[in-house]
């Protein structure tokens, strides 16, 4: 790696710092020979493609470089209303004119960086915006939504179609009086709206996206093609040419949802950029921001041509700075990470700590623990790496067990497949026996924006696509000619649904059972927008650019399928009312969840003994995935039914004894007795990240209000006060501002109940360093070490500038980012220094041990064509390994890195057409094992593992 990669910067002022007195510009470009800023009076001249190609008429000012590779310039005066670009001259005299990578405001289509006064971007009463009360991740009900889909229905009376401001229009109804728009979300009862990417993306011409819904070929995209990471997408703004409008209108969206009691999660895409050559990074620091293979080619674990090298210090810093900006400036409440496996675990752990400790203890963080291809990244954020780290991952095992595959006719529990009971139980118990250490670490879902949505998937498994008029789709258009509009109009997805008896239709019942499983399982439930109204996309499985005709939510379906909406609303109310469905740790689940039946496509379990301090003593949940009614025996006594095949909620429908009949393709929820307890506040406590804060520091406190039996009282009104506002100010939402040295008592009051904590403001300095890293490494091993810098109060210092060194760099070298490379056997000391404090960690380097894993796969039918092994965590080269037939079996061989402790594998058919049994398998393997042989028999979850070092074998349940 070139020497310049050791340059790094710890400051928080990259990009533009604006005041009315001066504007300061800072750019990290350590390899540049010269950097100039070009200041313009206007946005430039746009061509027919919405691009500005002439940047020659700007005022030119030279920037000055410091030792850290930072180029800076301060321009006196008020520059608001101007625009700028950087002109960078590299050592080969190549000249690049680029937008500021830290830009927070841009012109239409991101052609120039805009200088604006941040005060002009706040909507009215923005400083009074209050985050809705929220405590734990499992208390969330997530609702995934695309900004444009929400309001682009041409037949719905929603203003600002396709725009951020559509979320600010309240009081809207359809002709039957049903709420639509933002009031619909509040009525449904979801806690978080998860917005598909709203950061500026590249493939939509913002100047053409003005009349949403009027043209089926109007520009449309999901937004997973990032261009400017810190700027809102302009096509959702009423005026994309005014740089302040998109900022103000996105803030208005957040403010409106907060007023409805709904938090906001942003979908973020820090794993790749749409383009490398025309993207935000490569032209500034060539070769640094992207991940490369050993042959010098770009790695493509994203499937779109590139990956960001998140493990590098300044890439990691960029991501952390960006996330913090969105959280603080836009008041958002969570992030969902696209292809999170391509983000290294250290970055994920660090950003989780920072957001939780410095922004909001209830900040929600989750993502996709998989990739779109192979990657050389060592520490991928895969399923299992989230254990104990504070963030959650999607559970695709549970998803597949419920519905089957994502795009084909493969079936699951609710779509007609047998033998899914075990996988269903693993999922509904929070994946504790799979890859989590607690239910707060798993997001349960059936469908999302990707792949077939729920209604269309059910239609596909029932072989109804042709009868319902679904075309074959490709690139947003029907194959064989015709427009998307005519194809959607010709399709009849609800052809067989009787409007007077909606809940008796088999497809409807399967749909409700799918979501009912999610909402009664341990973990974080995730719903795709429109499922509560039987949304269909006419069978389009990849509608990322299919336009409004395919993607728009059809609001008329709320009235048409009102019983379906009411059922969803009832299930959400049940979940949010009863904490038994929201247990927070493994011990609770193992003590209180008892499976009483799991056979014949019927699963029944009990949440017993007032689980998680629930007022219901025993709650029985039954899933019937068969085409016939099923009879299930009850424990003795009366049982009160609150969910059956026609109604859901907390009201008692009927009382039964002995045996209960559960109708086909449905779920049932019952409870036996209820003990006293209510929502009256009994206690209040203050949750705060630490005791001592630096002057000018800001953080969020949280009030936890409980009733007499210990249940959390949601949305209980509280007031905050500070004993000395000159030392610590506190806002109505619990945000504190540390001002000057001293102590202040912070008090929260809920009715007559109060709680207080003493907080201190002082200048903090480093006093002790703890090094976290591998004390034993093998030659060629690369590992990131972490230095925990503690202040004089024993608290972590987040922004410490740590300097790394090695006592014997010929044995193990360490980079400025703490990345240690083991080279020669021996003992060295890795040294970390910060603020005059020094710590060392002895590291022993061993010779490299060459190891091979041989996987033997046995099938009764001996049909091995198309089967291979997908491996990850090898430390060498992850990805597909071919299975070669050897006699009656097939074998695959792959090398694993020295020092490896575990790896994962999947046996799959024809590029994910099918997976053998449970899918993901994990193997514990330590350096002393030498070569390892694994024997897998088709249809069995067990693996026979033979370790060469001890000539022993064990059995490992996958």
Instruction: Tell me how far CA of residue 39 lies from CA of 18, 61, 95, 244, 755, in angstroms.
Output: 14, 8, 17, 18, 53
Q: Work out the end-to-end distance of the chain between its first and last CA atoms, rounded to an integer number of angstroms.
A: 39
Residue 42 a catalytic site member? no
Tally of CB atoms within 10 A around 469: 17
For residue 291, how many other CB atoms are within 10 A of its CB? 24
């010098």: which residue's tokens?
296
Other Cβ atoms within 10 Å of 865 Cβ, number: 9
Whole-angstrom Cα distance, residue 837 to residue 764?
14
Q: Under 8 Å CB-to-CB from 243, ≥6 apart: which residues?
A: 105, 106, 107, 114, 116
SS3 563: helix
At residue 4, the 3 state secondary structure works out as: helix
One DSSP character per residue, 319-369 reads HHHHHHHHHHHS---EEEETTGGGSBHHHHHHHHHHIIIII-TT-EEEE--
In whole angstroms, give the CA distance from residue 509 to residue 531: 13
Residue in 206, 249, 338, 434 annotated catalytic: 338
Tally of CA atoms within 13 A in the half-sphere of 232 that contains its CB = 31
In this structure, what DSSP letter does residue 530 have?
T
Q: Is 948 a catalytic residue?
A: no
Instruction: Determine how many CB atoms are found less than 10 A away from the CB of residue 341.
Output: 26
The answer to whether residues 663 and 624 touch, using CB atoms and an 8 Å cutoff, is: yes
Identify the CA nearest to 945 among candidates 920, 927, 922.
922
Cα–Cα distances in angstroms (integers) from residue 749 to residues 2, 130, 359, 705, 732, in the given order: 57, 17, 22, 10, 11
Q: Is the separation of the CB atoms in 575 and 581 below 8 Å?
A: yes
DSSP labels for 169-200? --S-B-TTS-B-THHHHHHHT-SEEEEPP-EE
CA distance 590 to 362: 25
As a whole number of angstroms, the distance between CA 339 and CA 308 comes to: 11
d(CA 126, CA 134): 20
Catalytic residue among 368, 405, 456, 916: 368
Q: For residues 837 and 803, give the distance between their C-alpha atoms in angstroms, rounded to a whole number.
A: 10
Distance between CA atoms of residues 214 and 219, nearest Å? 11
What distances in angstroms separate CA 89 from CA 86, 101, 286, one per listed residue? Answer: 10, 16, 12
CA 271/CA 371 separation, integer angstroms: 9
Q: What whole-number distance in Å separates Cα of residue 106 and Cα of residue 73?
A: 20
Phi, psi of 723 (to 5 degrees): -70, -20
**Distances in whole angstroms, Cα of residue 892 to Cα of each of 864, 882, 895, 957:** 12, 6, 10, 20
Helix H segments across 197-285?
243-259
Do residues 171 and 161 lie in contact, with contact meaning Cβ atoms separated by under 8 Å? no
d(CA 866, CA 814): 44
Contacts of 148 (CB under 8 A, 6+ apart): 162, 212, 220, 235, 236, 548, 551, 552
Token pair recorded at residue 953: 């074998």
* CA gap 819, 293 in Å, rounded: 18
Helix (H) or strand (E) holding 790: strand 786-791
Integer Rg of the chain from CA = 29
Which positions are catalytic? 338, 368
């Amino acid at each position: 790696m070139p020497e310049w990669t050791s340059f790094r910067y710890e400051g928080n002022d990259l990009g533009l710092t604006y005041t009315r007195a001066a504007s300061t510009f800072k750019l990290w470009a350590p390899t540049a020979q010269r950097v100039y800023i070009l200041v313009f009076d206007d946005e430039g001249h746009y061509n027919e493609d919405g691009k500005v190609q002439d940047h020659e008429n700007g005022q030119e000012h030279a920037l000055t470089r410091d030792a850290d590779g930072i180029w800076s310039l301060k321009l006196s005066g008020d520059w608001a209303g101007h625009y700028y670009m950087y002109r960078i001259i590299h050592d080969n005299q190549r000249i690049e004119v680029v937008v500021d990578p830290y830009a927070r405001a841009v012109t239409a289509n991101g052609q120039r960086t805009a200088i604006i006064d941040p005060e002009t971007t706040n909507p009215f009463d923005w400083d009074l915006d209050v985050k809705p009360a929220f405590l734990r991740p499992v208390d969330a009900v997530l609702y995934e939504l695309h900004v444009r889909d929400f309001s682009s229905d041409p037949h719905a009376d929603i203003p600002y179609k396709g725009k951020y401001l559509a979320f600010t229009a309240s009081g809207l109804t359809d002709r039957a009086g049903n709420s639509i728009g933002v009031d619909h979300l509040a009525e449904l009862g979801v806690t978080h709206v998860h917005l598909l990417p709203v950061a500026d993306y590249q493939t939509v011409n913002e100047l053409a996206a003005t009349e949403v819904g009027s043209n089926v070929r109007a520009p449309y995209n999901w937004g997973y093609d990032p261009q400017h990471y810190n700027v809102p997408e302009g096509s959702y703004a009423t005026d994309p040419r005014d740089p302040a409008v998109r900022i103000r209108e996105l803030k208005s969206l957040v403010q409106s949802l907060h007023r409805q009691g709904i938090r906001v999660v942003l979908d973020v895409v820090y794993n790749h950029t749409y383009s490398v050559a025309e993207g935000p990074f490569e032209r500034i620091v060539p070769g640094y921001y992207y991940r490369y293979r050993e042959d010098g080619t770009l790695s493509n674990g994203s499937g779109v041509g590139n990956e960001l090298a998140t493990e590098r210090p300044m890439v990691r810093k960029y991501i952390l700075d960006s996330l913090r900006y969105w959280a603080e400036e836009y008041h958002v409440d969570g992030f969902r990470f696209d292809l999170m496996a391509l983000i290294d675990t250290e970055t994920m752990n660090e950003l989780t700590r920072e957001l939780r400790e410095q922004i909001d203890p209830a900040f929600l963080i989750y993502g996709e623990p998989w990739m779109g291809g192979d990657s050389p990244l060592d520490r991928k954020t895969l399923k299992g790496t989230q254990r104990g780290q504070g963030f959650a991952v999607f559970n695709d095992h549970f998803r597949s067990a419920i519905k089957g595959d994502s795009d084909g006719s493969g079936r699951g529990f609710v779509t007609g497949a047998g033998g899914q009971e075990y996988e269903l139980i693993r999922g509904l118990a929070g994946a504790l026996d799979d890859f989590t250490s607690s239910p707060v670490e798993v997001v349960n879902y059936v469908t999302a924006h990707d792949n077939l949505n729920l209604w269309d998937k059910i239609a596909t498994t029932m072989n109804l696509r042709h009868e319902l008029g679904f075309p074959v789709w490709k690139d947003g258009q029907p194959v064989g000619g015709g427009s998307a509009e005519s194809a959607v109009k010709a399709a009849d997805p609800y052809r067989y649904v009787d409007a007077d008896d909606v809940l008796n239709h088999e497809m409807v019942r399967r749909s409700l059972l799918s979501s009912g499983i999610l909402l009664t399982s341990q973990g974080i439930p995730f719903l795709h927008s429109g499922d509560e109204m039987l949304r269909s996309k006419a069978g389009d499985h990849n509608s990322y650019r299919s336009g409004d005709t395919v993607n728009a939510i059809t609001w008329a379906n709320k009235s048409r399928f009102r019983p379906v909406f009411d059922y969803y609303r009832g299930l959400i109310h049940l979940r949010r009312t009863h904490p038994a469905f929201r247990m927070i740790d493994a011990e609770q689940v193992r003590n209180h969840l008892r499976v009483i039946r799991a056979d014949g496509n019927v699963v029944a379990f009990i949440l017993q003994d007032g689980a998680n301090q629930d007022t219901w003593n025993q709650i029985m949940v039954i899933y019937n995935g068969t085409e016939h009614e099923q009879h299930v025996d009850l424990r003795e006594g009366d049982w009160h039914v609150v969910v059956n095949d026609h109604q859901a909620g907390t009201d008692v429908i009927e009382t039964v004894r002995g045996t209960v009949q559960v109708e086909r393709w449905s779920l049932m929820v019952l409870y036996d007795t209820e003990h006293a307890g209510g929502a009256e506040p009994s206690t209040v406590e203050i949750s705060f990240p630490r005791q001592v804060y630096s002057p000018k520091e800001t953080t969020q406190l949280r009030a936890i209000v409980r009733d007499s039996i210990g249940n959390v009282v949601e949305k209980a009104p509280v007031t905050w006060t500070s004993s000395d506002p000159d030392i610590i100010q506190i806002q109505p939402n619990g945000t504190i501002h540390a001002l000057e040295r001293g102590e202040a008592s912070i008090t929260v009051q809920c009715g007559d109940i109060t709680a207080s904590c003493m907080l201190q403001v002082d200048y903090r300095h480093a006093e002790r360093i703890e090094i976290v890293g591998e004390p034993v490494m093998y030659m060629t091993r690369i590992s990131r070490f972490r230095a925990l810098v503690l202040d004089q109060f024993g608290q972590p210092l987040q922004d410490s500038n740590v300097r790394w060194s090695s006592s014997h760099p010929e044995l193990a070298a360490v980079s400025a980012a703490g990345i240690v490379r083991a080279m020669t056997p021996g003992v060295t000391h890795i040294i970390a220094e910060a603020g005059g404090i020094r710590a060392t960690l002895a590291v022993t380097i061993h010779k490299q041990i060459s190891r091979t894993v041989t996987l033997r796969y046995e099938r009764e039918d001996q049909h091995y064509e198309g089967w291979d092994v997908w491996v990850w965590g090898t430390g060498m080269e992850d990805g597909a390994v071919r299975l070669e037939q050897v006699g009656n079996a097939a074998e695959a061989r792959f090398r694993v890195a020295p020092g490896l402790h575990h790896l994962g594998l999947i046996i799959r058919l024809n590029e994910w057409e099918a997976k053998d049994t449970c899918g993901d398998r994990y193997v514990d393997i330590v350096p002393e094992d030498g070569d390892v042989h694994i024997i897998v028999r088709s249809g069995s979850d067990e693996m026979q593992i033979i370790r060469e070092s001890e000539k022993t074998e064990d059995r490992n349940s996958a």
